[in-house]
Structure 1
Amino acid sequence: MKTTYQLHGMTCASCAALVTKTLKSIDGINDASVNFATETATVEHDEPIALDTLNTSLAPLGKYSLSERHMHSESSASSMGMTEDEHRAHTGIGQTKAAKIAAANALRSQIRIGIPLAVIASLIMVLDLFVAMPLLLEEFFHHLLPIMATYVLFVIGVPYLKGLWRFIRTGHADMDTLVGLGTLTAFLASFEISVTELVPDTLPAVLEGVTYYEATIIIIVFITLGKYLEAKSKITASDAIEKLLELSAKTALVIRDGVAVEIAISEVVVGDIIRVLPGTKIPLDGVIVEGDSYLDEALVTGEPDPTHKGAGDTVIGGTLNTTGSFTFRTTAVGSDTMLARIVQMVEDAQGSKAPIEALVDKISAVFTPTVLAIAVLALIIWSVLGSPVLGLTAFVTVLVIACPCALGLATPMSIVTAVGTAARRGILIKDAASLELLALADTIVVDKTGTITKGAPEVIDFDGTDETLAILAGIESHSEHPLARGVLTYAKSRNITPATATNIEAVKGKGIIGVVAGVAYKVGSTAFVGAREDTTPYTTICIAREGGQVLATLHIADAVKDNAKDAITALHKLGKKVIMLSGDDQATADRIAREVGIDTAIGGVLPADKYEHIIRLQSEGRKVAMVGDGVNDAPALAQADIGVAMATGTDVAIESAGITLLHGDLDRLVQAIKLSKRTRANIRQNLFFAFMYNTLGIPLAALTILPPVFAGFAMAASSVSVVGNALRLKK
């Protein structure tokens, strides 16, 4: 089993690597992973493991702790004797975002004081380099800087000093360790020089006037500013879950003893009858029993236009009722609802790791110790060469400029942002690997029914009068055959009221007989009614008077979806080969393929055979994405390199595929592939920025080409640039 916890105390990618290693070492833990961007830890275990056991193992590291992660509650505030705010705090709902906002606000308070001090320090540094200051002003600044640096280091810089103290106690280093060691070293060296200057002729000439107070101030303020911007960006990147949670209604009008009573959502049970009024949210999933309306399902399915729903249709909790009023029977509550499953899926996907991140994790694990070694080596070499000032400069600059944050954020920030963007478009991504692999698929295998076609019989043409259509609909209204539903839907679309039919007699496999206004009619195949054989590739239904002439003929087919052809064209432009598998005969499959432009159609395929077709394509070296209904096609979806489930309403089978398209049309697939390509490119860009920054920055720092002040600015800028680049995926 898998359990995900909220992880507190992380400041960089090295933290994530250290916590992962520690959790994996605990008895009973089969595997563990930590996501720096979402600040979560997921552990795999066979038997339940107490949270206290995990936190006890993390305690020696000094600052990390785990807490339960709740997104939903089965108990209402009233049932627990709490206010809504107390209930939310107790269950943890919304607590994660609140904690992030509080942390960001604390950083903002610090930089409001720190930035003016950094500006003053920068001006002093510029004046000292380029302007001959009066002796009085120079002395004033000379004594002001130590005071400012003391405040910045020991107030704003407390997290970094704590990081250094943890390193001394436990031997585990992270980004805070590097910054704390670098700035404290610079401050203490400067302070020693300041004190020594008070005693005449005791300070070596090479150190006269050499202090790093400005560097201490500017470095800490810049890095804290970078952390603040990073914290704000994380809140923005993960707002998809918050937006989904906001869709949930808090109460429902439940019919009890014939009276509508407003109760909390958590008190509703499966089978309850709920009344929905115009302009209100659908509280839970269910099936309409009376009434009809148009529902706005855009925020759940991504479909922009309101959808008409009537008796027998499914409704999804969180969607909006626009005009009519109706009642429905509840079919799912709590964590079983569509909205709850979507929230859970988005959470899981944002917390998962892309395959490329495994390499980043390995690098992050050895990054901080390596940087410490380089910094010490630079200090020793410069000192041996006779320049301790340059040695100290190199030591501080290397420690400050090395930024594992950018490296650790490169992949997860892109994943978090992309998954959230996809969810808002009606595309559910199960994990980061699915998102990454979709772009690599070169062959798209699609199921015909429900994917390319609408999956329901539809009248293609009708050559009779409205009166004849009314008679035909009246007789077909007594039939349970799927084709009859197509006829009735067609009549309704033309505003034709079915005639009253009596004496109905169904002839199995052939048709149906009925009487309308005293006249007997036969409805069915050409052979059944005595009509001439039809040579079209469609299913033909005829109506004729008993023993008389044929009055009308209509053709029915599983019609192609309106956007299928455009979607197939778009897939071709993306370089994808499209293959359609169909249970229909080859002639029907070929006709559909020609109509929408599919490359290859294979007819007569049973659901169980689709699995074998996927294996055959993979044996040819193809990367296959299988698109199906997520239920009958489950074996093929599982075998494919990436499975994509087409789904509508509560029929979605979220567990059957890596990606689920909520509104069930191929346009979403095209969007998903494009987003996958953009995400892969975004991750590569972020990794390039991070690796280039560290590859160039550390050697330049060791050679003292970069001053410490620039190192602090560059370190903050690197993390912010990676986060900012990832947020472009929201567009």
Structure 2
Amino acid sequence: MLDPEQLWRAFPQALRKLNPVALFRNPVMFVTEVGAALTTGIAVFHPTLFGWLITGWLWLTVVFANLAEAVAESRGKAQADSLRRTRQQTTARRLAGWEPGAAAGAWVEEAVAAAELRRGDIVSVPAGALVPGDGDVVEGAASVDESAITGESAPVIRESGGDRSAVTGGTRVLSDRLVVRITQEPGGSFLDRMISLVEGANRQKTPNELALNLLLVMLTFVFLVAVVTLQPMAIFSKDAMAAAPDTAALTADGVTGIVLVSLLVCLIPTTIGALLSAIGIAGMDRLVQRNVLAMSGRAVEAAGDVNTLLLDKTGTITFGNRRASAFLPVGQVPVERLAKAALLSSLADDTPEGRSIVAYAYEKHWLTDRTVDGAEWVPFTAASRMSGVDLPGDTLRPQRGGGRQLRKGAAASVAAWVREHGGEIPAALDETVDEVSASGGTPLVVAERDGGSAQVLGVVHLKDVVKPGLRERFDELRRMGIRTVMVTGDNPVTAKAIAEEAGVDDFLAEATPEDKLDLIKREQAGGHLIAMTGDGTNDAPALAQADVGVAMNTGTSAAKEAGNMVDLDSDPTKIIEIVEIGKQLLITRGALTTFSIANDIAKYFAILPAMFVAVYPGLGSLDIMGLHSPLSAILSAVVFNAVVIVALIPLALRGVRYRPSSASALLTRNLWIYGLGGIVAPFLAIKFIDVALVQFIPGI
């Protein structure tokens, strides 16, 4: 629930927060501190055991409130220290005069401190070196260790071009070499922002939190006026109370003032006032623990109210490049023969699509790369739109003599190659190609020449592969009442096929950046809160407009700067966890507010009858707890008021568990557990404290 050592480490910070200037931003606890100061003065001039006990517990109430916030902040500071250790003084290899495609002698490499780098500088990062600053890869591809940022040990691939070109300062290149264009300003690195945010420097109150603070201020003011007006009544009832043995102790010098301060502190909503800040801080920290960086608490809170989610297709719903999904033979060609031919003809194709064919052949047909002595490889080029291999002898069918030529590529290019070598194009090929195209896929034709005429073997179906598990996650979003919309630049046929496979509610095809922006604005005009995930530069305007913009860490710098959250794991399904954390934050705040107001009822039943039963004997019927004496009743209520804060710190930090359900069901559950529980639990606790006080302090 809560590590005692963590409480002990946070205790000095809680004491430092007793500074009235710092505490003034929390009006409820500021009034409590003023009350503690008043009782301290009264206890000094009119010392009584009761007065000092009340004073001590009032100060503990303030300290415990500060402790809740300090514990929440300490988690962020521990994470910041861990991140700070990853930021080292790095020497960068700046390339002066470097241009894309320039020969080695056209530029000069110079060693400079990473702190001296400016936006636009070009640096070389060899294997084993740290990336000196945030930037985009402009040349090369390499494996990069980002565990210092994401916490994950598995390396990732970063390469020039596309949406996986962004690198973060402080990460380490494990293989090959990257040329990086620096995109950060001095002192404004992504790591610097992470450290600042997790330490809580930029945390600001959200609109709902400000509204709740205003409510707490008004309640505090109302109860302050009510208690102040009780002073004339206390003077009026002094003689009657002095004549009653049970209440005579309340009329001793200074005790009346201490009792009134105790009443005020127990009347105002100190519990939620003490925990409100910790709830907000813990919500942001829970995101950081899931490798999501929130730029503000407003974004976390907005995530809890999101009802429309826009998802970019490429890299979010689907993998970044089209992948092989099926081998479709033409005629009587065995599928194994087509698979082997597709594999061998793709070994010289270094494009993502070519690599996916090799991977698919291994995964589905247990074929492995084979080195063929004397083979002449035909690499893929944009001009030929084909790749292939010329094999010595008959590698595919050793029982027949003669060399073999294999080609794989665009349908038109391979068809022209087949005709050029005396082959014919079967009618079944056109049908297969049209079916693949109609489904939104890309057909690649595989052909073979065995020394005579060429022959079409079949088609490789390339498609946007939907990331596994998305349909189930979208079903979960639907249960939360969140509508999902896929946004893509593809044609409507392809978009519809992907949308149906992924299980989204709607889609927007052939979308330009302006179309995405207009869609968000229309939804917002209808009163909806919009969340969007994306990773490309073309997503940046929409990410900036959305109420919750979640950029993938593997995306471009423009996308990360536009969003108000960054997913360090680059997992688009993480938006579900983000929404759950946002809802959990709102539910936790509501639950503890309900509990705080409800448990005040027990304190009223403890203090009010004890104070005025001598003047109004009818109040004796309200003393349903049967507390020992007026002094013990008041002290028990004050002790409970302080202790309950510490007891609720774990719940404030962990959050109330969220289960997808309707708003009415959540409200009912909230009232039964935290409303009724907030009434019953304090009655039992105050009675227990009263019995314990009488045992340890018999004269009270």
Q: Measure, in 2, the Cα distance between the counterparts of 1:343 and 1:159.
A: 25
**What letter corresponds to residue 511 of structure 1 in structure 2?**
R
| Contact kept? 2:444, 2:460, Cα under 8 Å | yes
Q: In the alignment, what sits opposite 1:383?
A: 235
- By how many angstroms is 1:406 displaced? 3.6
Q: TM-score, normalised by structure 2?
A: 0.65
Question: 1:447-504, CA deviations, whole angstroms, 9 ceiling, x for partnerless residues?
Answer: 2222211121212234535465334443x45xxxxxx431145437754679654698
1:179 to 33, 36, 39: 36
Q: More displaced, 565-574 or 419-428?
A: 565-574
1:351 aligns with 2:203: yes
Question: Counterpart amino acid of 1:239?
Answer: K
Q: 1:542 maps to which residue?
A: 445
Aligned to 2:652: 726
CA distance in 2, matches of 1:358, 1:104: 23
**Does the C-alpha gap of structure 1 residues 468 and 371 become closer, same or farther in structure 2, counting only changes over 3 Å?**
closer
CA gap 1:302/1:590 in 2 versus in 1, 3 angstroms: farther
- Which deviates the most, 219-228 or 672-681? 219-228
**Is the Cα–Cα contact under 8 Å of residues 448 and 456 in structure 2 kept in the other structure?**
yes
Q: Which residue of structure 2 aligns with residue 487 of structure 1?
A: 354
Q: Aligned residue for 1:139? A: none
Change (3 A) 1:668 1:298: farther
Q: Does 1:215 align with 2:53?
A: yes
- The CA distance in 1 between the partners of 2:558 and 2:267, in whole Å, is 47
Deviations 1:60-110 (A, max 9, x none): xxxxxxxxxxxxxxxxxxxxxxxxxxxxxxxxxxxxx99977545789xxx
Is there any run of 5+ residues in structure 2 with no aligned partner, and where? 1-6, 96-103, 243-249, 328-334, 363-367, 392-402, 416-424, 612-629, 658-700
CA shift at 1:674, angstroms? 1.4
Contact 1:397–1:707, Cα closer than 8 Å, also in 2 = no
CA deviation vs aligned residue, 1:214-265 (integer Å, no higher than 9, x gap)? 5356435644662674465244343365255335232335459999999865
Determine the C-alpha separation between the residues in 1 that align with 2:550 and 2:72: 28
Query: In structure 2, the residue corresponding to 1:212 is in which secondary structure?
Result: helix
Matched, 1:331 2:257: no
| CA shift digits 1:239-297 (9 cap, x unpaired) | 365255335232335459999999865356643434553xx865544567999875443
Matches within 5 A, 1:579-658: 579-618=485-524, 622-629=528-535, 631-648=537-554, 651=557, 653-658=559-564
Which deviates more, 576-585 or 400-409? 400-409
Separation (CA, whole Å) in 2 of partners of 1:417 and 1:231: 9
Paired residue for 1:674? 580
Structure 2 residue matching 1:645: 3-state secondary structure: strand
Does residue 1:558 correspond to 2:439, yes or no? no
Distance 1:648-1:349 versus aligned 2 partners, 3 A rule = farther
Q: Does 1:189 align with 2:40?
A: no
In the alignment, structure 1 residue 297 sits paired with structure 2 residue 159: no
Other-structure match for 1:414: 279
Q: CA deviation at 1:300?
A: 2.6
Q: Which moved more, 1:700-709 or 1:588-597?
A: 700-709
Residue identity opposite 1:565 in structure 2 = R
- Out of 388, 391, 394, which is 2:259 matched to? 394
1:365-404 CA-to-partner distances (Å, cap 9, x unmatched) read 4565555443332232022023373544532422443566
SS of residue in 2 equivalent to 1:452: coil
Compute the TM-score of the two structures, normalised by the length of structure 1.
0.63
**How far 1:687 moved relative to its partner?**
1.9
Give 1:560 deviation, angstroms. Answer: 1.3
What residue identity is the alignment partner of 1:408?
G
CA contact (8 A) 1:237 1:727 kept: no
RMSD: 4.6
SS at match of 2:284: helix
Looking at structure 2, the residues matched to 271 and 351 of structure 1 have their Cα atoms a distance apart, in angstroms, of 34
Q: Distance in 2 between matches of 1:331 and 1:98?
A: 43
- Equivalent position of 1:251 in the other structure: 89
Pair 1:455-2:314 in alignment: no
Aligned counterpart in structure 2 of residue 527 of structure 1, from 401, 406, 412:
412
Q: Identity over aligned residues, as a percent?
A: 24
Pair 1:576 & 2:482 matched: yes
1:554, CA displacement in angstroms? 1.6
Aligned-partner residue type, residue 155 of structure 2: P
What does residue 233 of structure 1 align with? 71
Equivalent position amino acid for 2:649 in 1: V
Q: Does 1:443 align with 2:305?
A: no
Aligned equivalent of 2:80: 242
Is the CA contact 1:244–1:343 (under 8 Å) kept in the aligned structure 2? no
Distance 1:359 1:696, change over 3 A: farther
Q: For residue 331 of structure 1, what is the amino acid of its counterpart?
A: I
Cα distance 1:578–1:311, how it changes in 2: closer, same or farther (>3 A)?
closer
| CA-CA distance at 1:669 after TM superposition | 1.1
Alpha-carbon distance in structure 1 between the residues aligned to 2:381 and 2:124: 36
Question: 2:115 matched to which residue of 1?
Answer: 266
CA contact (8 A) 1:506 1:513 kept: no
Change (3 A) 1:214 1:525: closer
**d(CA) in 2 for partners of 1:408, 1:596:** 44
Q: 2-side partners of 1:609 and 1:219: how far apart?
A: 60
1:166-220 superposed Cα distances (whole Å, 9 cap, x missing partner) = 9xxxxx97332111113322443347xxxxxxxxxxxxxxxxxxx6345356435
Take 1:309 and 1:180, find their aligned partners in 2: how far apart are those partners?
60
Quote the residue 1:307 is aligned against.
Answer: 156
Select the residue among 574, 582, 589 that pairs with 1:683. Answer: 589
> Matches of 1:558 and 1:442 in 2, distance apart?
27
Q: Report the CA distance between 1:685 and its aligned residue.
A: 1.9
Q: CA deviation at 1:673?
A: 1.4
Match of 2:344 in 1: 470
**What amino acid is aligned across from residue 636 of structure 2 in structure 1?**
F
Q: What one-letter code is carried by the residue in structure 2 that aligns with 1:306? A: P
Matched, 1:710 2:636: yes
Per-residue deviation, residues 628-685 of structure 1 (Å, max 9, x unmatched) = 3364234444554443334425546234233333333233111111111211111112
Q: Is the 8 A contact 2:486 2:508 kept in 1?
A: yes
Structure 2 CA distance, aligned partners of 1:539 and 1:580? 20
Q: 1:427 to 1:512 in 2, by over 3 A?
A: same
- Displacement of 1:526 after TM fit? 2.5
CA contact (8 A) 1:438 1:676 kept: yes
Distance (Å, rounded) in 1 between the aligned partners of 2:204 and 2:223: 28
CA distance 1:717–1:262, shift in 2 (3 Å): farther
Alignment correspondent of 1:131: none
Query: What is the distance in 1 between the residues matched to 2:114 and 2:11?
Result: 28
CA distance in 1, matches of 2:540, 2:116: 35
The answer to whether the 8 Å contact 2:533/2:551 transfers is: yes
Measured in 1, the distance between the counterparts of 2:33 and 2:413 equals 84
Q: CA deviation at 1:417?
A: 0.9
SS at 2:538 equivalent: coil
Contact kept, 8 Å, 2:43 with 2:52, in 1: the verdict is no
Counterpart-to-counterpart distance in 2, 1:268 and 1:636: 30
Q: For 2:22 and 2:475, how far apart are their aligned partners in 1?
A: 56
